[in-house]
Amino acid sequence: MALNVVMLGPPASGKGTQAVRLAQARSIPKISTGDILREAAAGGSELGLRAKALMDRGELLGDDEMVGIVRERLGRPDADSGYILDGFPRTVPQARALDGILQEQPLVIVDLAVPDAELLQRMQGRRVCGKCASIAEPGSVSTAACERCGGPMITRADDGDGNVRQHRLEVYARESKPLLDYYRGRATFQSINGAQPPDRVAADLVASIEAMAPVASGRRL
Ligand code: AMP
């Protein structure tokens, strides 16, 4: 059965880190809209340049554009056996559009809950690879080179400025938190304590998915 997962959570909640682990463990793609936009920005396309300006200010791109990007990505063959969505949906209209794209396909929704003070601290310390966008494990000894590709570890532009960090949390509260109400009533929604060490979060995530997958596929255990 295809495993389709949406990872919800504020910036720096660990969505990206956990999505990579889960995608590797299940051999399904991690689809991160932030990574897609950062790649476009690095490539210098019109979309990329527009996206970079918004990302650097902590603002969101428009729903229609994001839905178009995700619809195209989910239509590729490697998404047939499932995927982990990281960073999408980020608004209720995006979630509605995703429901439309999925039709009756099962969807597991996991929220990583982390208090604001911890998020601000994490954003300040977070290092990502400037080449392949890998995220350094929280709490890892910071190295100059990426463990995956050897690229330079840098601070993300949207993590670097205190006002932008605060603004991203405000945008999250206004635009993305309503997603919790949108999904909360579903049997395949679960909130996890994302303030734990990454290994504990990963274990909780696997346990939640194993508990919810049969419900998602219609087999209620
Ligand atoms: P992320 O890597 O998920 O934190 O995303 C980085 C930035 O990309 C966000 O702050 C937004 O500017 C933009 N972005 C990523 N995903 C979306 C989305 N689903 N809707 C709108 N903007 C997005």
CATH code for position 9: 3.40.50.300
pLDDT for 220: 47
- Please give the Cα distance from 211 to 221 (Å, whole number): 9
* Catalytic residue flag (residue 73): no
Q: Is the CB of 82 under 6 A from ligand 1?
A: no
Q: What would the two tokens of residue 177 be?
A: 């938190």
Ligand 1 centroid distance, CA of 196 (Å): 24
Does 119 map to a domain?
no
* Catalytic residue flag (residue 15): yes
Which among 115, 138, 99, 152 is positioned nearest to 16, based on CA atoms? 138
- Mean pLDDT per 10-residue segment, the chain (221 residues): 92 94 95 95 95 95 98 96 97 98 92 96 87 73 80 84 91 98 96 96 95 72 41
Count how many domains the chain has.
1
Is the sign of the CA dihedral 97, 99, 105, 110 positive or negative?
Answer: positive
Tokens 């696997």 sit at which residue? 206
Does 14 map to a domain?
yes
- In order of 9, 18, 19, 27, 203, the CA distances from 24 in angstroms are 20, 10, 8, 5, 14
Tokens 């208090």 sit at which residue? 115
Does 38 map to a domain?
yes
pTM value is: 0.90
Residue of 90, 122, 127, 165 with catalytic role? 90
Domain range for residue 98? 3-114+176-218
pLDDT for 218: 64
Does 156 map to a domain?
no
Does 149 map to a domain?
no
